[in-house]
Amino acid sequence: MMNVHDVRRFDVVVVGSGVSGSAAAMSAARAGARVALLEKLDTFGGSAALSAGMFWTAPDLDAYQKRIPLGDVRLGARLIEDFPEALAELRASGAHVAAEPQLDIMSFGIGYSTDIKAILSWCRDEVVAVGGETRAGASVVDLVHEGPRVAGVLVRENDGRLVRYDADAVVLTTGGFQGASDELTRYIGPNADRLLLRSNPGSVGDGLRLARGAGAGGTKAMSTFYGHLIGYPVKRFEPEDYLPLSQYYSGSTVLVNLRGERFVDETQGDELLNQALTFQPDARGILLFDHRVRSTEGTEEPFPGLGVTDRYANAVEAGATHAEAGTLTELIDAVAAWGIDGENLAATLDRYEAAVASGGGVARGVLVAPTARAPQTGPFYALMVQPSITFTFGGIRTDERGQALDADGRPVPGLYAAGADVGGLSNYGYAGGIAPGYITGRWAGASAARTTGYEGSAAAAALSAG
């Protein structure tokens, strides 16, 4: 039996301090609950603190369903409905939020650049201001149960002490399971343990594990995830490298595997190509493109906050395998020197160019979109790439209030979830990170406070009621 050194009492405990946990804690505190926000790492903010802070999602439900046909429509519809109110709340915080929207984010979304670190800090300040607690270095090792009800958490602090936090409701916001190689292999499959981690190191599936122990069910999307293509190899990959080394422009290139064959419609965009590459030989591929792509999409800001930079040059400087040539024939020869079948690569490019010239179609069994453009303006470039993972899309089954559900769809009393711990909102297609995290955190925090008997403001009550 574990020896508990201390027992602390709160109304709501939130596990994880990323954008979803921060929003959940603030929403519960504003509704009147006394909240403990617990973070197992030594610093607050999770993966959100490493991001560019773009607050975005689908502009409407039709766009959501077109881009994410496998997504959970219940969650998607409420996400889009609550976006304006959440945006207004951020503006009222005093943190920077852009006045004008950015359109066509990830080819379809709408959003606003923000000062995400200021937002995270504001959420924590709101919790503390009404008597709550924020604690880093507090790793939740188990849930506390009273019969079928979740009634708190057991925490191991940095000094090794075990502390029990008793609460009427627990909100899990641990950020997904991208840091756990065994879980990735189990759900995503071959090559998943090769994925380059583009995330905070603490998101290793704690929320999923804890929820399952309480009887929560899982969701669809367990094999899908968000990330971006990164040059291969790279000498280092630290948080400050995550944004400049991401090859966001890959949707304007030709992407082939190590056999020199296309395997996906490139115009789907980098975050989808990233997933598709995972299942190719050795989880590696080669981007082929021309000077026009490098000097336009390859250097432009995909959205404000990422900066104008030459992403190909960044990859080269980081150590990625690359080639440059004056003609495509010379480029093919250079890539063949890497062990790629040059004749096969040449045939792939020939068929691709023919399909592009015909306005799209199929080339060697792979779709070529009508908007595709073949490399034509020298010099030409080849860059070896690998997939990365920022967070997973599958997770805990919840309703649109953030209530955790068991496999039969029944509520797990006292348990809520938000952010990347919630499964199915994104599924292969990506509905955004910061905005869905913040908004689902608001749902879960307000609902958890309501469980404790706190209704808070009319807005908070409406938020939890859905």
Last residue of a domain, one of 371, 386, 401: 386
182 shares its domain with 241? no
- Could you read off the pLDDT of 42-79 as tens digits, one per residue? 999 999 999 989 999 999 999 999 999 999 999 999 99
Q: Do both 237 and 165 map to the same domain?
A: no
pLDDT category at 115 given cuts 50, 70, 90 is very high
pLDDT in tens, 140-193: 999 999 999 999 999 999 889 999 999 999 999 999 999 999 999 999 999 999
Each residue's pLDDT tens digit, 450-465: 988 876 543 444 444 4
Last residue of a domain, one of 359, 386, 413: 386
Whether residue 277 is found in the same domain as residue 405: no
Residue 254 belongs to some domain of the structure: yes
Task: Answer yes or no: do 28 and 172 share one domain.
Answer: yes
More confident residue, 461 or 234: 234
pLDDT given at position 3: 86
Task: Single out the residue in 332, 357, 386 at which a domain terminates.
Answer: 386
Q: Is residue 459 part of a domain?
A: yes
CATH number at residue 448: 3.50.50.60
Report whether pLDDT(410) > 60. yes
**When comparing pLDDT for 2 and 105, which is higher?**
105
> For position 307, what pLDDT does the model report?
76
What is the pLDDT, as a whole number, of residue 455? Answer: 65
- pLDDT, tens only, 248-296: 999 999 999 999 999 999 999 999 999 999 999 999 999 999 999 999 9
Strands 403-405, 411-417: pairing kind: antiparallel
318 and 461 share one domain: no
Q: Mean pLDDT throughout 234-239?
A: 96
**Do the domain assignments include residue 201?**
yes
My answer on whether 61 and 131 are in the same domain is: yes
Q: What would the pLDDT profile of 182-199 be if each residue is shown by its tens digit?
A: 999 999 999 999 999 999
Q: 146 and 112, same structural domain?
A: yes
Any residues with CB less than 8 A from the CB of 303 and at least 6 apart, and which? 52, 54, 56, 102, 105, 111, 113
Whether 421 is in a domain gets the answer yes
Which has the minimum average pLDDT: 194-203, 229-238, 326-335, 453-462? Answer: 453-462
Q: 1 lies in a domain?
A: no
C-alpha to C-alpha distance for 262 and 332, rounded to whole angstroms:
14
131 found inside a domain: yes
> In which domain, by residue range, is 429 found?
6-222+391-465
- Closest to 10 in 3D by CA, of 212, 194, 179, 151: 151
Residue burial 233-258, b: 16+ Cβ < 10 Å; e: rest: ebeebeeebbbbbbbbbbbbbbbbbb
Residue 267 maps to a domain:
yes
Q: Are residues 48 and 166 in the same domain?
A: yes
| Long-range contacts (CB closer than 8 Å, 24 or more residues apart) made by 71-74 | 71/221, 71/424, 71/425, 71/426, 71/427, 71/429, 71/431, 72/219, 72/220, 72/424, 72/425, 72/427, 74/399, 74/400
Residues 28 and 100 in one domain: yes
Residue 27 lies in a domain: yes
- Specify the pTM: 0.94
What pLDDT is attached to residue 301? 82
CATH assignment of the domain containing 269? 3.90.700.10
The reported pLDDT for the residue numbered 15 is 98
pLDDT, tens digit, 9 for 90 and up, residues 83-94: 999 999 999 999
Residues 268 and 209 in one domain: no
Mean per-residue pLDDT over the chain, rounded: 95
pLDDT at residue 311 greater than cutoff 90: yes
> What pLDDT score does 457 carry?
46
Q: Are residues 333 and 403 in the same domain?
A: no
pLDDT of res. 464: 46
Domain check: are 205 and 247 in the same one?
no
Q: How far apart, in whole angstroms, are the C-alpha atoms of residue 361 and residue 162?
A: 62
pLDDT at 447 exceeding the cut of 70: yes
Mean pLDDT along residues 357-383 = 97
Nearest to 421 by CA among 176, 187, 74: 176
Structurally, the chain folds into a number of domains equal to 2
Q: What does the pLDDT look like over 384-408, one tens digit per residue?
A: 999 999 999 999 999 999 999 999 9
d(CA 158, CA 300) in angstroms, rounded, equals 43
